[in-house]
Chain A
């Protein structure tokens, strides 16, 4: 495979690496200048760059769940605003039903022009804002039942027009969000990143000339497409069907199903979600943009990591989903907590891919991060909103254990430092630790679940939690067992109560919320796990001696953490003879 004849490999490399450094520099600008902890510490944002047709040519090192959302966002913004395009414009949008994902994710896009006013590209940023109004602080509630409850809905509009700020919009935002200084601070960070992207891209343009650069930008997309097609061709043809579930939508008790039929044919992949539950009342509906994003991201996980992330990647992948379903909802479905369905889409897709390329995936991880927000007003009526996304663990892999304590790969987030949290919010974190016996048993053990315990110290606040995997545990693969279920505990006035996975409730000083996240699924038959590794896990407090015997058939010499080889052989032999697989 070669580059087209007229193109020079040196220039190709230079254009490619310059674009990569532009989107990375944009991301660094956001990290440096953002106001909120969601953006700065959790790093819930993305940066990208599009060519003049609105096609993604490079994406920064950011959130995979945002990867495939840019095409829809760009199409919506170009359709709405493209006719009156002018230098100095900056666009914004957050409407899930006009190109967005959920209201907190605000897009800021700057069309880029040459000095003689010709459009040459777009700098693109997406950031999860601390609050965009609506009935629950953090604008993340999983129990809103209409989009109208979820906050300020911004269709594609000008944030700046010909260099002038859209004061009407700024005033509207100011009056509709709980923490306007943070929202404006983060919007400014997005604008600064776009401006940097603009300056760097114009330098690249000046160095190569418009026509030549365009040829290389085109080739960059073709190059990604070639590489993706080549790798898909190596995946065995077939239709791989997988189903996974969400406990409930937080309103109705019924479990929800995501079903995918993933068809690999020659150098193409089609994902069809027929058979998925219709859209729900709770706010976990994932717009089609989210669904597409997750398909791209999941497929991306089984391809070579060095393929550039751009629109060329998407060309060999098609997606269909029934209208008005959980994964392709229509107005007025609420979708603030769509991340959960996004994560479950990831689990479902990896489950299907496991049938085709079992060596490249892991058994289910924690099921996506747990979103927590605690918001209220202090004695001086100053608002506070604590937002955290608790992560996570990975399931076992064909040759490696799952990871204990790590981000979900579809949303590469960081945790909030406890010492910072306690210095800035009315909270005491009483525990943040791994949970023994939570990793699903397997030849390769699933990762351990995480526990975090919050004690609230102000007068009153609304606690809002979006969690899952309390009924449907993370699946194992190839004979591995599922990970342990998650659990929420609320202690109020000394009374402890296990709550549902999704809740919005009033809390008061002294109340404790204790969250345990699900553990990852195991990979392979646990009876095939090296007994020395099981003993090591016991020594490390990751697996109890009881579960070592029960799940793995490993017997320890009483009073020690050493394997009793004979007893283990016997135990495992009996299980094999009895046909009991763990």
Chain B
């Protein structure tokens, strides 16, 4: 973990089912642990995982260590509506902005749709008399007496957290800050979230919603982090807690207490961080990740070695392909996050024949309980996992490291029933389920790749999660992707990512100016001003602010255009002082032309906002993944065992070699199955596979 001097770094990732841990020792050695999560008190699971890791690496316990944590606690508080009793103060006339949202419904023709309930009830949305115009000038001065009266009411009501969002505060935050100061004075101990402290950007609903989410989860996250810190203290040793953000950077626990909304949906981010580390290690610049588990599959893009980001996302919007177009099913958070697309296709996704005779797979899922038919826990309908058992991809005896004994006869029966409806035998039906599941997942991959104008065929697919390696090769082929990589430890890959994450923070700031009226000095002053504010804020949040470096981006457009084009700002210091604004315009026009195929050299250009990414300078972590893979290499020679597996209707079942990862030091040609503790890597006929120096399984196919 950059920026740290700790000898030992520990990544702990809490998911709904498992708590995964990766410990990186001073010697570069990696220890892993996977234990059931403890939903009553998640910190309990963390303590158990730590104990297990320290038992395996007793030296580490005595050394200074740094715990990097990824947790669903903030996400769950929103999804389960178990956050704090929260109030919202808004400009008079606008108490319903939070509830009115952007109005659109995400499900056409569904008259039974329900809008998610606002996180602050109408009775706790209070109006403040004040008003600014769009330039931030005061039209109506702040009614401080009114704020004081509201504070009394909030105290009476036992409100635990307060959000404040005033109109045009992005242009001038003084009223918001004054309201914040009054509330903090009058309601000691009650956290106050000011919208402009999180994002200084125009868009009243987005800012309100973000501030409210922050306020709503703040007490819950605060208590949780305290519990974790107590566990760390009681486990002895000198430790420091860092937390993963949805943008893939980690933040100090102190910052997380103030900006807990940055923790939301950070779980999948860690997997992408790990993917980026792998991409760098294998010198692969363009990569699509596939993280497939029990209920969903998620895809993200690494482009030119960099992750791709979105400016906002919705918590609980469910399956997010449509929601890229149609928001409204979840709670909107306007903070930068790694761009992930998710579809409802996982091992537990149900397969059925619909009323028109078409085969459907997902999004209905049986999850882990009762689980697929082959679990024998009461579900008899076919799932993707059942199909993979019938196809011979999953060996019944070694599933989930042998923790769960599968009954292939139950899977067979489920697929036979499905097959009768489709007019085919069980194996053909299973194959159809597998492929239709792949089609679902390919939509997630397309959403992050082709939607951005990329050709998926130029990318490598990196597969992890319990089900990703089972589907990766065939899925890749349907997208025209010719190279698939399965990293070491695919089952605890996200926890591994926590070890690689840099510390950082992102700022968003609306700044409107026409370039033809902006001087070079004016631009430099604006950037300097923003940087100074950011440094101050970082210091307040507990970052080593002097060790921070900044990356700048700007949003621009032609005057009259409604959309923005984002460009990286040139290094202003390096440009001749007379050329800064011209250089910005040049970059904007180049990018505009690249995306929209035209430029308008005569048209005035407007700057509308800055994005500033702070990153703590630090050396890259010493993470030897090949060492991890080597740990697993046993002395045994490759076995000659095979299992019948099904890859096409033409060929039917063929004998696939059963291998372990270390057997791939000698390249093999499919069909073969690499069995690992928590997944199987399927190498279909025609694919070649080998182990690279970093311990990755690399599969390739000829055109």
Q: Do A and B bind each other?
A: yes
Interface residues of A (CB under 8 A from B): 1-3, 5, 9-10, 12-14, 16-17, 21, 24-25, 27-28, 31-37, 40-41, 43, 60-61, 64, 181-182, 185, 188, 192, 223-224, 226-227, 230-231, 297, 300-307, 360-362, 391-392, 394, 397, 400, 403-407, 409, 412-415, 417-420, 422-423, 428-434, 450, 453, 539-542
Distance in angstroms between the alpha carbons of A13 and B352 in the assembled complex:
13
B322 touches A61 (CB 8 A): yes
Q: In the complex, A9 Cα to B430 Cα: how many Å?
A: 12
CB-CB under 8 A for A539 and B123, given A412-B105, A431-B93, A432-B93: yes
- Additional A-B contacts beyond A21-B443, A539-B123 (16; CB < 8 A): A3-B357, A9-B432, A14-B439, A16-B358, A21-B446, A61-B326, A192-B596, A227-B355, A403-B115, A405-B99, A407-B105, A413-B103, A414-B104, A418-B204, A420-B202, A423-B134
Say whether, besides A24-B325, A414-B102, A419-B203, A433 and B435 are in contact (CB < 8 Å). no
CA of A430 to CA of B92 in the docked complex: distance in angstroms? 8
Tell me if A417 and B205 are in contact (CB < 8 A). Answer: yes
Q: Which A residue's beta carbon lies closest to that of B600?
A: A181
Q: Which residues of A contact B595 (CB under 8 A)?
A: 32-33
B170 at the A/B interface (Cβ < 8 Å)? yes
Determine whether B110 belongs to the interface, using a CB cutoff of 8 Å to chain A.
Answer: yes
- Residue B560 contacts which of A181, A300, A419, A542 (CB distance < 8 angstroms)? A181
**8 Å CB contact of A1 from B107, B356, B450:** B356
Cβ A12 vs Cβ B111 within 8 A = no
Chain B residues 197-213 with CB under 8 Å of chain A are 202-206
Given that A415-B103, A432-B93 are known contacts, is A13 also in contact with B359, CB under 8 Å in the complex?
A: yes
Complex Cα distance, B562 from A406, in Å, reads 23
The 3 A-B residue pairs whose C-beta atoms are closest, nearest first, are A431-B93, A423-B134, A405-B100
B124 to chain A, nearest CB (A): 9
Contacting B357 at CB < 8 Å: which of A43, A226, A304, A306? A226
B:656-689 near A, CB below 8 Å: none
* B168→A422 contact, CB < 8 A: yes
**Cross-chain contact A412 with B104 (CB below 8 angstroms):** yes
- Residue from B101, B110, B450 within 8 A of A405 (CB atoms): B101
Which secondary structure dominates chain A's binding surface? mixed
Q: How far is the CB of A78 from chain B (nearest CB, A)?
A: 27
Q: How far is the CB of A368 from chain B (nearest CB, A)?
A: 14
Bound Cα distance A360, B93 (Å):
35
Chain B, residue nearest A307 (CB): B356
- Which chain B residues lie closer than 8 Å to A413 at the CB level? 103-104
Q: Are B111 and A362 in contact (CB under 8 A)?
A: yes
CA distance A55 to B139 in the complex (A): 56
The A-B contact count (CB < 8 A) is: 201
Nearest-Cβ distance from residue A16 to partner chain B, whole angstroms: 7
Partner of A422 from B133, B436, B451 at Cβ < 8 Å? B133
Q: Total interface residues on B, using CB and 8 Å?
A: 69
Chain B contacts for A32, CB-based, 8 A: 563, 595
What are 16 A-B contacts with C-beta separation under 8 Å?
Answer: A9-B359, A10-B431, A13-B439, A32-B595, A35-B563, A188-B598, A192-B597, A226-B356, A227-B354, A301-B110, A406-B115, A409-B109, A409-B110, A417-B205, A420-B202, A422-B168
Q: Are A433 and B95 in contact (CB under 8 A)?
A: yes
Q: Tell me how far the C-beta of A13 lies from the nearest C-beta in chain B, rounded to whole angstroms.
A: 5
Neighbour of A417 across the interface among B110, B202, B355, CB < 8 A: B202
Given contacts A409-B108, A433-B93, contact A417 B596 (CB under 8 A): no
Chain B nearest CB, measured from A188 CB (Å): 7
CA distance A412 to B114 in the complex (A): 15
Are B114 and A403 interface neighbours, CB within 8 A? yes
Residue of B with least CB distance to A394: B111
Expressed in whole angstroms, the Cα–Cα distance for A35 and B592 within the complex equals 13
User: Contact at B358–A428, with CB atoms within 8 Å?
Assistant: no
Q: Is B241 an interface residue (CB 8 A)?
A: no
**B→A interface (CB under 8 Å):** 93-97, 99-105, 107-115, 121-123, 133-134, 139, 167-168, 170, 202-206, 321-322, 324-326, 354-360, 421-423, 431-432, 435-436, 439-440, 443, 446, 450-451, 512, 560-563, 595-598
With A10-B435, A14-B439, A417-B203 in contact, is A2–B357 under 8 Å at CB? yes
Check A419–B204 contact: CB distance below 8 A: yes
Determine how close the nearest CB of chain A comes to the CB of B86; give it in whole angstroms: 15
* A436 and chain B: residue at smallest CB distance: B122
Which of B356, B436, B597 has most A Cβ within 10 Å? B356
The distance from the CB of A542 to the nearest CB of chain B, in whole angstroms, is: 7
Q: Which of B97, B111, B123, B450 counts the most chain A CB atoms within 10 A?
A: B111
Bound together, the chains give a CA A16 to CA B359 distance in angstroms of 11
Instruction: Among A17, A37, A41, A231, find the residue whose CB has the most chain B CB atoms closer than 10 A.
Output: A17
Give the distance to chain B from A480, nearest Cβ to Cβ, in Å.
15
Interchain CB contact (< 8 A) of B563 among A34, A417, A423 = A34
The residue that B358 contacts in the complex, of A9, A433, A450, with Cβ under 8 A, is A9
Contact A34 B103 (CB under 8 A): no
Give A572 to B88 CA distance when docked, in angstroms.
36
A90–B227 Cα distance when bound, in Å, is 64
Q: In the assembly, what is the distance between CA of A414 and CA of B205, in Å? A: 12
* Contact across chains for B562 and A36 when beta carbons are under 8 A apart: yes
B133 & A540 in contact (Cβ 8 Å cutoff): no
Q: How far is the CA of A28 from the CA of B431 in the complex (A)?
A: 32
B97's partner among A16, A432, A542 (CB-CB below 8 A) is A432
- For A14, what are the chain B residues with a Cβ–Cβ distance below 8 Å? 439
- Indicate which residue in A227, A300, A360 contacts B356 across the interface (CB closer than 8 Å): A227
Docked complex Cα distance between A34 and B563 (Å): 8
In the complex the two chains form, is B560's CB within 8 Å of A17's CB? no
Chain B's closest residue to A32 (CB) is B563
- Please tell me if the beta carbons of B357 and A419 are within 8 angstroms of each other in the complex: no
With known contacts A28-B451, A33-B596, A404-B99, A61–B446 Cβ distance under 8 A: no
Closest Cβ of chain B to A80, distance in Å, is: 29
A406 to B122, CA, bound (A): 16
Q: Which residues of B contact A430 (CB under 8 A)?
A: 93
**Whole-angstrom distance between the alpha carbons of A24 and B323 in the complex?**
11
Given contacts A61-B322, A417-B203, contact A9 B103 (CB under 8 A): no
Rounded to whole angstroms, the CA-CA distance of A400 and B205 in the bound complex is 26
A194 to B358, CA, bound (A): 29
Closest to A395 in B: B111
**CA distance in complex: A483, B321 (Å):** 36
Residue in A13, A412, A541 whose beta carbon sits within 8 Å of that of B436 in the complex: A13
Contact residues in B for A400 (Cβ distance below 8 Å):
112, 114
